[in-house]
Structure 1
Amino acid sequence: MKLIFNIEYHTVFGEDLLLNDVVTGKDGEKKVSQYRMSTVDGQHWTYQMTKAKSAQNTVISYFYSVDCEGASRRQEWSTEIHRLELNAVKGTNYTIYDRWLEMPEDTYLYSSAFTECVNRRRTVVQQPTAFSKTVRVMVRAPQLRAHERLALVGRTDALGSWNTAKALPMYEHARNEWTIDLHADSLVGNRMEFKFVAEGVAEEPLWEVGYNRTIELADMKEGDVAVYLLNQSFFEISNRRLAGTLVPVFSLRSKDSFGVGDFGDLKKMIDWVSATGQRVLQVLPINDTTITHTWTDSYPYSCISVFALHPQYADFTRLPKLKSVKLRKAFEEKRRELNSLSQLDYEQVNEVKTAYLKELFAQEGTQVLASADFKKFFTEAEQWLVPYARYCQLRDDYGTGDFSQWLDHRVWDEHERKQLSNPANQAFAGVAFYYYVQYILYTQMVGVHGYARSKGVILKGDIPIGVSRYGCDVWMEPRYFNLSGQAGAPPDDFSVNGQNWGFPTYNWEEMLKDGCAWWKRRFSNMQQFFDAYRIDHVLGFFRIWEIPIESVHGLLGQFAPAIGLNREEIEAYGLHFHEERFLRPYITDEVVTRLFGERGAEVKQMYLKELQKGVYEMRSEYDTQRKVEAIFATRTGESDEKLREGLYALISDVLFVRDRKNPDLFHPRISVQHDYTYKALDEADQMTFNRIYDDYFYRRNNQFWYREAMKKLPRLIQATRMMTCAEDLGMVPDCVSWVMNELKILSLEIQSMPKEAFVRFSYLSRNPYRSVCTISSHDMPTLRQWWDEDADRTQLYYNTMLYRGGSAPHPLPGWLAREIIECHLVCPSMLCVVSIQDWLAIDEKLRLADANAERINIPANPHHYWRYRMHVNIEDLTANVDFMENLKELIKKSGRY
């Protein structure tokens, strides 16, 4: 069997086109064989491949790439590559006329969010034809919805003579790609004229837009198969716009809950979303965060494993009952007690649920671990599961998650894997419980995912930008992390001192050496549970805000990587560089008096050392924020807290920070214009510094950060078929939108946080289609809280955005909350996701009386307790006819269905 591949692609001198044949093994691993194509003009490329007769009825998957001196310069979009069935009964010679596949503008329509949830259709392969000469036409038509089909109609009788009633049905042999085999002898002449039509759109088939299509057919012999891949078919079908709900899993409440939302509650929430006409359910991270077994582990963005799920989400109603009547009764009493609480009691819930799981493991564990399903799970998850289980065992044995204190176990020992994986070894028994729990969680969450798909609901997950410094991921593969710094965010509306998340930053140089394998595994694991995801703090893939390990606040951070300024460059702007003055805290009598008032003398005497009259430096025992933090650890009074914050401010009052890698480079200190060291400059130096500052933060690094992001993000978003959304808020450089547009990533649009300069509120009508619109995120006050936070801001919004006269009513009435949500629902954004608290705000009889109790997170507080729970059961919410009808009406009127 002979296959001749033909493609037109313009190259330049030194570039070659490669044909990449992809073979997927039984283990799921993909192996790529490359074949160098030939050309005579640098534009028309061809390659001839010979296949054995046994290749009949097989499938070839392949893609094209450009090679330059042994290095890959670029390649086709890899999410949906070429697919060719060798199923023509009499086909012995295939000639393929291909086209280069760029990442399409409507990439989202190829995501599993659409192909498996919204536009769910079954792919089928056309039955083998026995034509002596076959013309195969292939085209992509991603716009078609679940009930719509593609057909071909053309000029000749064999093609239906332009009569759509006689159109030839096509077959969706791959996602969004349709094919049809035609008998070449039935086509009159060597010119084929036709168009595609969509059936099921309306009463009459819908014609594709544009001129008639034509194919000039080459001479064919018996056994020839001519395959034509055509450019995408486009129809006048409106873009899908969908509505959804955001709620953390731990916040769900049902009559069956065990004091915390679980995967069973997630199924109930899917039913509620579906019943209201919504198509998206977005949750926060669901990974295990257990380090201390205290409430501080409630922070869902500090996971100890990006693969393991949190044990608190186990749905006990889906597990066998405990055989002990006494234990069943005791646990049921505790369940009722915990489920009646208004907020999550993280410590009690996890203590009791873990005890329950241990009882169940003692009862069922041996049988479960011997099952074929568990063994299959273990084989697929072993790479991460074994180290995770060992980590959990050592954490509990040592009584700390800080593995630097684990004596001989400070780093994962790969030699332990074999004995920890063999049930015959004693070591296996010590970790088997953790295997059992993860198997339960995996099975339940996979079931939830399948259930969501069956309901046409997109489950949208969340990928945190960081991992816990003391987690299993760092313990297992420390080479991927920089432990000498802390990840965070520069000052923004959430926190004037910046945010210090405490996570280690990524060692991207090391990660790129193996093609970001860790990240690809992470994304692949996540696609088992979700069809869309939110990249938390996507700016971290361009550059991360890296804070020194000795800092508490984020003000002394610097972007990493970033192109720092040397002394000569700074002085070229016109600012004479005084290293001592610019890099050391600026502390004078005036500064101390303004910061500390009547306690100024105490501060000078205890914490400062005088360098010269009226000028000071911090004493060595207090010269970092961490040292100050330790001193004030037990001093929690209001006066001492103010003193501590003042000392923090003194330490961060510098004009520049030194580059962490190159001591001869410097970075302007973020937001320094609010501090005394800047205000002490004369007016001319202030203006010069501002030019340096603006150039550095908004122009100097743009191209550099673009290249950094493009090293990473294309690999990751094409590693799965999940739909990619990103949180692109904060201090956003121009290059972020370049990359987001190039990679077709959905942006996040919040009206109260406009991306346009000098605009107080963004206009919803200007939202890009490829975006997620929301009112409030988990890091923000809810709509009701926001409404009462700042009366002047609310009044401006009321008059200019809602076009209402008079005074804005307070507190926010339900009818006005409904109007605000309606304004968001009718915007152009593809997704409009509303938090459960904001949905409830429209019903004054249903919503929580205390709006402040609805807050999920306060970013300015690094020690916030994440414990918000819905105050109403999902069952009762679903039974509330008035509320349900209200939501259904809103969603239907907005066209989001």
Structure 2
Amino acid sequence: MKIEFYLRFKTRYGQALFVSGNLLSLGANETENAFPLRYLNDEFWYGSIDVDPTEIHTFHYHYVFQDENGERSKEGEKHRSVDLKKITSNLVLIDSWNDEGFFENAFYTAPFQTVFLKEGKKEKPKKEEDFTHLFKVKAPLLQAAEAVCLLGNVPELGAWNKENFLLLTKKGEWWTIGVNLSNENLPASYKYGVVDAETNAFLRFEGGDDRFVFNDDVANKKTIVHDAFIRLPNTSWKGTGIAIPVFSLRSANSFGIGEFADIKPLADWAKETGLKLIQLLPINDTSATFTWKDSYPYAAISAFALHPVYINLQKVAGKKKAQSLKGISGKQKALNELAEIDYEAVMSAKMVVLYELYEASEMSFLDERTYEEFFEENKHWLVPYAAFCFYRDKYKTSDFSKWKTGSVYNEAEVAKLTSHKSKSFKQIAFFYFVQYHLHLQLKEAVDYAHKKGLAIKGDIPIGIYRYGADAWTSPSLYNMNVQAGAPPDDFAVKGQNWGFPTYNWQEMEENNFDWWKKRFHQMGHYFDAFRIDHILGFFRIWSVPMNAVEGILGRFIPALPVTAHEFGERSIWFDYNRYCKPYVTDAVLSQTFGDKAALVKESFLQPNEAGRYDLREEFNTQRKVDFYFSLQEANGDNHQLKQGLFDLISNVLLFEEGSGGQRFHFRISMEDTPSFQYLDEDVKHKLKDLYVDYFYRRQDQFWKEEAMKKLPALKDATNMLICGEDLGMVPHSVPDVMKQLGILSLEVQRMPKNPQTEFFHPKDAPYLSVVTPSTHDMSTVRGWWEEDREKTQKFFNNILGEQGTAPQFCEPWINRAVVLQHLYSPAMWSIFQLQDILGMDEKLRRENPHEERINLPANPTHYWNYRMHLPLEQLCKEESFNEEVKTYIRNSGRGN
């Protein structure tokens, strides 16, 4: 059998195209071994192969693009396949390139395929053996009663008569129809159209020019024409979502903290108001210390395990053991009446009851078929996680380096520990029991939301916890000798140090990203979409040395360094000690410490040969300083001294890479340091020029290549809709890569990506984006309104278009105006924190907006304990408010 490929694609000189598939001649799905096509004309690239039809029954293939630099990328089409058993002749494939960035591809991801979009009316397909040409096209946004038709200029295609259209049949993602065309009918022009499948009335043609099928000898050939997408206005679908952490939910039945069961009344309210999506923060187990510090949802001890704090005890007990919970009803009520979460009290109470219910179960759950299925599906992470928790509880710490046994993961030892015959099995199985019930409860809540027409969006943290099961089981996948963080910004002027190890991407790539694929697979049980926390980390990560406390001492990794030779090229005398060591003089000390300068010199410094000062060995890193002051009295003077010493240590211009004095990286915000300020003007100018080159010129292509090693493979591993949190110091290549891959961007009104503007306007958002007035890392609209009077005034006049003096407080009508701006945005999604929705109503909004903030990024020990101030049951009954929200959503075109 001969297979011919014709691909419609316009290229430039130096570019090339390939076809990859599950045939050996196409490289057996290995992109680097794909079959090369050749340029045919301005419209087509062409190639042909000979195939033994007995080699494989179903033939899958896709195309690969290679740019002028030799970089290859796959198209977005995942479902081109041919049943070779039904093909007895030669095969011609006429295809259109499906770019991953085409927004229509979003409609074939999980939320649209499983929740939002219904299939058109199915007709019994004609036998495929009857055609010479099989036409295939995708039409993602048809209404339920609509179908695709075909019309063309020859009698076999209806001769453009709208009463003689050919009705296509929906088969999977494709609308298809087989047509017999003789040589005399070719070339033929045609178009797709839309019909009412119930009345058979022709409704409209697709847009654009006529399509053509060219002249060819049809004898002994089958031709399949993949026409990609029908040309209809496919940016019309827009949805609205609500963002709230599970822990912040409040219902009459919860236990002082939101639970998975509370997603159901939230779904009821969301359905009532016309919302389409519920966005959650990470829900993984963070139980490292069993203190309030575990409230931080981005420090999970497992990237797979769910958090026990979200379990509903009544559901675990069931009717048979409901009586056993009566003794805790008072505790439940007291905790549930609190304005904020008492994390430690909730966790302690729940774990005690869970142990009791586990004991009462007599481990009968092990024999349940659904448990057996759960265990088999999840044992790759569940067994090591249970072993980790066993050791954590045994040694009273999750820091596995301090365990007397098991500190180094050994698969054989873990298998022995977790064996049914082990003396420890009863303790181990408790964690199976809890995770099993969490899975059942979350799945029940998700299924309920789906039935209400709602999708669920999760959150993938950029890092893993240093003292968690993932690091314990596979330390080679992470760089354990550094800390991940973020560079300084307006919200954290000293940068952020998250404390996570960074990913060892080289090792992960060598493992074919197996850990990520398993993670996505497990997330796919519960989520239809997810947010990639800090997607910039896939381009480069802010890496902080272990001896640093503040993120400001970090640098981007990977990054192309500046060399000592470059300083000479720019006529800069390279003084290693001056640029790479803390610059400490009497003037700097006076500037930093005021009247405490003498005390600092005497206690923490020593003079050097250059007439300046060095920090003493015992105080020459931020970690050493932090440890010293942790032993001192906590007061204002000591805090000032500690921060001043932190600032001295970070008062450098360059970090050396390795040793040898040849490769260096600039300290971020170099021009703000006293070290820089005390240079002469000529050196300042030359250094700043090199600094700008380092951060804003030389890295961009390099970082793009790094991202393209990771993101395409990860995106290919899941059908969830992917949204990226692309905020902060964004490299120029990030928008292009996200657009190329069809990853939705995040657009925040008060964090414009254009440095020339102070605010972003939602009307300027791209279609493939999420617009929001605030995120969990920010104050709410009402809280922000009171933070900076000057900014508020500019926003009031320039963005809201109002004249005069801005009100002192964010009145409901102002909050409403902000929400409406986002609803009328062209973005696919507008997603709001619940606080910002409630802020529109004088009666329902919280009295003090500053109590509504979820996180303070500048504070690494922030207590994440925000709760809704009113129960979901009450919110569901607020008919007037709910109707108002529903009307706004419907009128903005987001009702769908």
Q: Normalised by the size of structure 2, how large is the TM-score?
A: 0.92
Could you tell me which amino acid in structure 2 is paired with residue 847 of structure 1?
A: R
Helix, strand or coil at the partner of 1:576: coil
Could you tell me which amino acid in structure 1 is paired with residue 581 of structure 2?
A: R
**1:512 to 1:405, Cα distance in 2 relative to 1, 3 A:** same
Contact 2:564 2:661 survives alignment (8 Å): no
Task: Pick the aligned partner of 1:347 from 336, 344, 367.
Answer: 344
2:577 aligned with 1:580:
yes
Could you tell me which amino acid in structure 1 is paired with residue 739 of structure 2?
A: N
Matches of 2:32 and 2:827 in 1, distance apart? 41
Matches of 1:512 and 1:661 in 2, distance apart? 28
Task: Pick the aligned partner of 1:659 from 652, 657, 661.
Answer: 657
1:856 alignment partner in structure 2: 854
Question: How far does residue 868 in structure 1 lie from its aligned partner after superposition?
Answer: 0.3
Helix, strand or coil at the partner of 2:194: strand
Contact 1:240 1:896 survives alignment (8 Å): yes
Question: How far does residue 527 in structure 1 lie from its aligned partner after superposition?
Answer: 1.9
Contact 1:95 1:226 survives alignment (8 Å): yes
TM alignment of 1:260-279, pairs within 5 A? 260-279=257-276
Contact 1:20 1:35 survives alignment (8 Å): no
Question: How far does residue 433 in structure 1 lie from its aligned partner after superposition?
Answer: 1.2
Question: How far does residue 345 in structure 1 lie from its aligned partner after superposition?
Answer: 1.0
2:98 aligned with 1:97:
no
Helix, strand or coil at the partner of 1:627: helix
Helix, strand or coil at the partner of 2:752: coil
2:49 aligned with 1:20:
no
Contact 2:130 2:179 survives alignment (8 Å): no
TM alignment of 1:593-742, pairs within 5 A? 593-611=590-608, 615-634=612-631, 635-660=633-658, 664-742=662-740
2:764 aligned with 1:763:
no
1:513 alignment partner in structure 2: 510
2:460 aligned with 1:463:
yes
Contact 2:517 2:714 survives alignment (8 Å): yes
1:875 alignment partner in structure 2: 873
| Identity between Structure 1 and Structure 2 (%) | 38
Question: How far does residue 790 in structure 1 lie from its aligned partner after superposition?
Answer: 0.8
Question: How far does residue 19 in structure 1 lie from its aligned partner after superposition?
Answer: 4.4
2:427 alignment partner in structure 1: 430
TM alignment of 1:187-586, pairs within 5 A? 189-200=185-196, 205-216=203-214, 218-220=216-218, 225-236=222-233, 238-321=235-318, 323=320, 327-364=324-361, 366-419=363-416, 422-586=419-583
The one-character-per-residue Cα deviations of 1:419-449 (angstroms, maximum 9, x if unpaired) are: 4565344453331111122122223223333
Helix, strand or coil at the partner of 2:754: coil
Matches of 1:828 and 1:38 in 2, distance apart? 39
1:847 alignment partner in structure 2: 845
Question: How far does residue 134 in structure 1 lie from its aligned partner after superposition?
Answer: 4.7
Contact 1:773 1:832 survives alignment (8 Å): yes
Contact 1:143 1:234 survives alignment (8 Å): no
Contact 1:195 1:213 survives alignment (8 Å): yes
Matches of 2:526 and 2:512 in 1, distance apart? 24
Could you tell me which amino acid in structure 2 is paired with residue 843 of structure 1?
A: D
Matches of 2:165 and 2:417 in 1, distance apart? 61
Mean CA deviation greater in 342-351 or 605-614: 605-614
Contact 1:206 1:235 survives alignment (8 Å): no
Helix, strand or coil at the partner of 2:6: strand
**1:169 to 1:636, Cα distance in 2 relative to 1, 3 A:** farther
2:63 aligned with 1:74:
no
1:27 alignment partner in structure 2: none
Question: How far does residue 392 in structure 1 lie from its aligned partner after superposition?
Answer: 0.8
Mean CA deviation greater in 552-561 or 821-830: 821-830
Question: How far does residue 352 in structure 1 lie from its aligned partner after superposition?
Answer: 1.5
Mean CA deviation greater in 562-571 or 781-790: 562-571
**1:772 to 1:147, Cα distance in 2 relative to 1, 3 A:** farther
Could you tell me which amino acid in structure 2 is paired with residue 44 of structure 1?
A: Y
2:137 alignment partner in structure 1: 139
**1:227 to 1:16, Cα distance in 2 relative to 1, 3 A:** closer
The one-character-per-residue Cα deviations of 1:507-551 (angstroms, maximum 9, x if unpaired) are: 112112122222222222222211111111111111111111011
**1:39 to 1:878, Cα distance in 2 relative to 1, 3 A:** closer
1:825 alignment partner in structure 2: 823
Matches of 1:681 and 1:691 in 2, distance apart? 14
Question: How far does residue 5 in structure 1 lie from its aligned partner after superposition?
Answer: 4.5
1:26 alignment partner in structure 2: none
Question: How far does residue 287 in structure 1 lie from its aligned partner after superposition?
Answer: 1.0
Helix, strand or coil at the partner of 2:845: coil
Task: Pick the aligned partner of 1:51 from 50, 53, 58.
Answer: 53
Contact 2:15 2:65 survives alignment (8 Å): no
Matched residue pairs, number?
880
Question: How far does residue 840 in structure 1 lie from its aligned partner after superposition?
Answer: 0.9
Matches of 1:792 and 1:314 in 2, distance apart? 45
Matches of 2:891 and 2:707 in 1, distance apart? 39
Matches of 2:828 and 2:874 in 1, distance apart? 30
Helix, strand or coil at the partner of 1:700: coil
Helix, strand or coil at the partner of 1:407: coil
Matches of 2:770 and 2:93 in 1, distance apart? 38
Matches of 2:867 and 2:457 in 1, distance apart? 19
Contact 1:21 1:34 survives alignment (8 Å): no
Could you tell me which amino acid in structure 1 is paired with residue 74 of structure 2?
A: E
Helix, strand or coil at the partner of 1:206: strand
Matches of 1:45 and 1:737 in 2, distance apart? 34
Structure 1 stretches of 5 or more lacking a match? 24-29
Question: How far does residue 171 in structure 1 lie from its aligned partner after superposition?
Answer: 2.2
Question: How far does residue 488 in structure 1 lie from its aligned partner after superposition?
Answer: 0.5
Could you tell me which amino acid in structure 2 is paired with residue 884 of structure 1?
A: N
**1:190 to 1:584, Cα distance in 2 relative to 1, 3 A:** closer
**1:34 to 1:704, Cα distance in 2 relative to 1, 3 A:** closer
Structure 2 stretches of 5 or more lacking a match? none
Question: How far does residue 758 in structure 1 lie from its aligned partner after superposition?
Answer: 2.6
Could you tell me which amino acid in structure 1 is paired with residue 684 of structure 2?
A: Q
Question: How far does residue 810 in structure 1 lie from its aligned partner after superposition?
Answer: 1.8
Helix, strand or coil at the partner of 2:549: coil
**1:293 to 1:155, Cα distance in 2 relative to 1, 3 A:** same
1:801 alignment partner in structure 2: 799
2:3 aligned with 1:4:
yes
The one-character-per-residue Cα deviations of 1:769-802 (angstroms, maximum 9, x if unpaired) are: 2211111111111111100011111111111111
**1:293 to 1:22, Cα distance in 2 relative to 1, 3 A:** farther
**1:342 to 1:199, Cα distance in 2 relative to 1, 3 A:** farther
Matches of 2:684 and 2:816 in 1, distance apart? 47
Mean CA deviation greater in 441-450 or 520-529: 441-450
2:110 aligned with 1:108:
no
**1:13 to 1:342, Cα distance in 2 relative to 1, 3 A:** closer
Matches of 2:157 and 2:673 in 1, distance apart? 76
**1:132 to 1:543, Cα distance in 2 relative to 1, 3 A:** closer
Deviating 4+ runs (over 6 angstroms): 9-16, 30-36, 38-42, 122-125
**1:14 to 1:414, Cα distance in 2 relative to 1, 3 A:** farther
Contact 2:154 2:185 survives alignment (8 Å): no
Matches of 1:453 and 1:638 in 2, distance apart? 53
Helix, strand or coil at the partner of 1:303: coil
Matches of 1:73 and 1:682 in 2, distance apart? 44
Matches of 1:855 and 1:888 in 2, distance apart? 25
Contact 2:387 2:418 survives alignment (8 Å): no
